[in-house]
Amino acid sequence: MLVLVVITALAFDFTNGFHDTGNAMATSIATGALPPRVAVAISGVLNFVGAFLSLAVAATIASGLVDTKVVTLTVVAAGLAGGIIWNLVTWLFGIPSSSSHALIGGVIGSVIAAAGGSGVLWHGLVSKVVLPAVLSPIIAAGVAAAGTWLLYRISRSMTEGARKHGFRIGQIGSACMVSLAHGTNDAQKTMGVITLALIANGTLAAKSNAPIWVIVCCALAISIGTYLGGWRVIRTLGKGLVEIEAPQGMAAESASAAVILLSSSFGYSLSTTHVATGSIIGTGLGKRGAEVRWGVAGRMATAWVFTLPSAGLVGAGAFGLAHGIGGTIGVIVDLILLALLGGFIYYRSRGSKVDPSNVNAEWTGSVAPTKTPAEPAAV
Amino acid sequence: MSWINLSALWKIVVFGLIAGAGLPAIFAVGLYSLSQGPRTARLAGADGATESDTLIGGSVIGMIGAAICFLIVLAAIGWGVYEVYQIGHPAVKH
């Protein structure tokens, strides 16, 4: 049973990785600073390193959100199922919703189904998850807008070509920092959940830190997921929201990296996705004449609001099912359903494929480009 | 226990601005400094479209200035990552 839960958690971590590659690398890919495949490879490696950097967020998830006394392995498994399903569905539509909220929502939903509202530490939830979720994109947008304005101001007398060349190099550096930051924040969440499962199983004492093998497995899962790349989300972030130039890309990434790293070290499990989106919008605001596609932004914000409750409902449903059947069999039934659904979503996604060859095609209002080889590969 | 940790909030805003907007600005100053000099000036004058992506202007002072800026940025990143590591591993026992 414990093994099943750990595998499910690592599967979540994997979806987390490929869902979130875009946060770090979308702007570099969109501006042509890095070839798509190289970008995701670098990002994967840095996610791995970042996972070891700080354990503050894992601690928040493991002991700050739900009462560890009511958590059983079934609860954790059901919560993970909720998180994974929401991640896959939003990925299908190319919406960069928060993997963190999907996970937290799923776990909280299944805790409520198992033990009622008293099993949730509401204060921890609001102060460490909900408020940061609202504030972080605003802060990131402000920082990115300030950065964009400064960069254009300082570089305005440079030639266009020199500016593009120079900031592309800077962008690679800042994108690497975002990947690192993503590892410190997002890989932590799965570590937190596995730690929670170990505590529930009695393997670890309450309030323990994540053991080293958990850290290594999570770091691996997230970096493999990152490497495989969520091309659909990359496309929405890089092309759909604002048309991005190299200096804007660098400003957006620096802002994201700074905000995520700072918040991680305070133990706030904020959403890398929200921060990256906030930053990209910020660069649109910081440059005169740039156009922000508020329609796309609005669609994302809607998905954000729904993420916690929807993943929660799925988590609660998964718990109900597993609990109804009972024991290990119940969890296995849950996981089989999950695998079937995952397969179905993968199958659906083949119909409108987004991959390295068409990720940068002109934005025509939908996630999948209408004509596949819309433009020659610009490297 | 309050709902919002104001001290963490202002730290995130202030350090976020310094690291997230300040460091790229220093990097930009470095690029600007690097691009000053006879080579880019001539290129810029040669064709109005300025399609060249030559980055190094060739002025010695410009290059020294650029090197200083880039070093500041790298040092700040290194220090920042070290700080995060320190804060994130509080359980080290002596």
Burial A224-263 (b: 16+ CB within 10 A, else e): bbbbebbbbbbbbbbbbbbbbbbbbbbbbbbbbbbbbbbb
Quickly state the pLDDT bin for A360 (edges 50, 70, 90). low
The answer to whether the Cβ–Cβ distance between B28 and A155 falls below 8 Å is: yes
In a domain, B81, yes or no: yes
The answer to whether the Cβ–Cβ distance between B52 and A159 falls below 8 Å is: yes
In a domain, A362, yes or no: no
pLDDT at site A243: 66
In a domain, B43, yes or no: yes
More confident: A151 or A370: A151
In a domain, A257, yes or no: yes
pLDDT at site A143: 92
Model pLDDT for residues A100-143, shown as the tens digit of each residue: 888 888 888 888 888 777 778 888 788 878 888 888 888 999 99
The answer on pLDDT for B49 being more than 50 is no
Minimal Cβ distance to B87: which of A56, A151, A158 = A56
What residue in B sits closest to A174 (Cα-Cα)?
B24
Q: What share of chain A is helix, strand, coil (3-state, %, to 5)?
A: 75, 0, 25
The CA–CA distances, whole Å, from A1 to A70, A330, A332, B34 equal: 17, 10, 9, 60
The answer on pLDDT for B53 being more than 60 is no
In a domain, A297, yes or no: yes
Quickly state the pLDDT bin for A365 (edges 50, 70, 90). low
The answer to whether the Cβ–Cβ distance between A161 and B28 falls below 8 Å is: no
The CA–CA distances, whole Å, from A181 to A40, A114, A264, B57 equal: 15, 34, 8, 34
Q: Name the region of A97 (left: φ>0; alpha: ψ -120 to 50; beta: rest).
A: beta
In a domain, B93, yes or no: no
Q: What range defines the domain where residue B35 resides? A: 6-88
pLDDT at site B89: 65
Give CA B84 to chain center in angstroms: 18
> Closest by alpha carbon to A162, among B40, B30, B24, B26?
B40
Interface of B with A in 29-88 (CB under 8 A): 29, 31-32, 34-35, 40, 43-44, 50-55, 77, 80-81, 83-85, 87-88
When pLDDT is averaged across residues A294-306 and rounded to a whole number, the result is 78
What residue in A sits closest to B20 (Cα-Cα)?
A255
More confident: A172 or B58: A172
In a domain, A76, yes or no: yes
Q: What does the alpha-carbon distance between residue A255 and residue B14 come to, in Å, rounded to a whole number? A: 12
Task: Tell me the Cα Rg of chain A.
Answer: 20
Minimal Cβ distance to B32: which of A139, A158, A268 = A158
Q: What does the alpha-carbon distance between residue A20 and residue A271 come to, in Å, rounded to a whole number? A: 10
In a domain, A374, yes or no: no
Q: What does the alpha-carbon distance between residue A113 and residue A15 come to, in Å, rounded to a whole number? A: 24
Minimal Cβ distance to A254: which of B1, B24, B84 = B24
In a domain, A377, yes or no: no
Model pLDDT for residues A191-215, shown as the tens digit of each residue: 888 888 888 777 777 666 777 888 8
Q: Considering its fold, how many domains does chain A have in total?
A: 1
The answer on pLDDT for A265 being more than 70 is yes
- Which residues lie below 8 Å from residue B60, measured CB to CB, with a gap of 6+? none
Q: Tell me the chain B residues in contact with residue A174 when contact means C-beta distances shorter than 8 Å.
A: 24
Side-chain-side CA neighbours of B82 within 13 Å: the count stands at 6
The answer on pLDDT for B92 being more than 70 is no
Q: What range defines the domain where residue A246 resides? A: 2-350
Q: What does the alpha-carbon distance between residue A108 and residue A116 come to, in Å, rounded to a whole number? A: 10
More confident: B37 or A168: A168
CB of B3 within 8 Å of a chain A CB? The answer is yes
In a domain, A338, yes or no: yes
Reduced to 3 states (helix: H, G, I; strand: E, B; else coil), residue A25 is helix
pLDDT at site B20: 84
DSSP per residue over A253-291, as a string?
HHHHHHHHHHHHHTT----HHHHHHHHHHHHHHHSTT--
Minimal Cβ distance to B55: which of A53, A56, A166 = A166
More confident: A34 or A327: A34
pLDDT at site A286: 80
Task: Chain A: give the shortest CA distance to residue B61, in Å.
Answer: 17
The CA–CA distances, whole Å, from A39 to A34, A49, A231, A258 equal: 6, 16, 12, 20
Question: Highest mean pLDDT: which of A72-76, A156-160, A344-348?
Answer: A72-76
More confident: A60 or A251: A251
The answer on pLDDT for A370 being more than 60 is no
Q: Considering its fold, how many domains does chain B have in total?
A: 1
Query: How would you class A126 by CB atoms within 10 Å of its CB: exposed for 0-12, middle for 13-18, buried for 19 or more?
Result: middle
Q: What does the alpha-carbon distance between residue A266 and residue A361 come to, in Å, rounded to a whole number? A: 39
Q: Name the region of A34 (left: φ>0; alpha: ψ -120 to 50; beta: rest).
A: beta
3-state secondary structure A307-359: HHHHHHHHHHHHHHHHHHHCHHHHHHHHHHHHHHHHHHHHHHHHCCCCCCCCC
pTM given for the model = 0.79
Polymer length in residues for chain A: 379
**A149: part of which helix (H) or strand (E)?**
helix A131-154
More confident: A16 or A365: A16
The answer to whether the Cβ–Cβ distance between B35 and A158 falls below 8 Å is: yes
DSSP per residue over B18-86, as a string?
IIIIIHHHHHHHHHHHHH-SHHHHHHHHH-TT----------HHHHHHHHHHHHHHHHHHHHHHHHHHH
Q: Please, are residues A208 and A199 in contact by the beta-carbon 8 Å criterion?
A: yes
Q: What does the alpha-carbon distance between residue B42 and residue B55 come to, in Å, rounded to a whole number? A: 13
The answer on pLDDT for A366 being more than 50 is yes
> Closest by alpha carbon to A354, among A267, A245, A259, A228?
A228
Q: Tell me the chain B residues in contact with residue A129 when contact means C-beta distances shorter than 8 Å.
A: none
When pLDDT is averaged across residues A93-102 and rounded to a whole number, the result is 76
Quickly state the pLDDT bin for A377 (edges 50, 70, 90). very low
The answer on pLDDT for B94 being more than 50 is no
The per-residue pLDDT of chain A, averaged, comes to 78
More confident: A350 or A283: A283
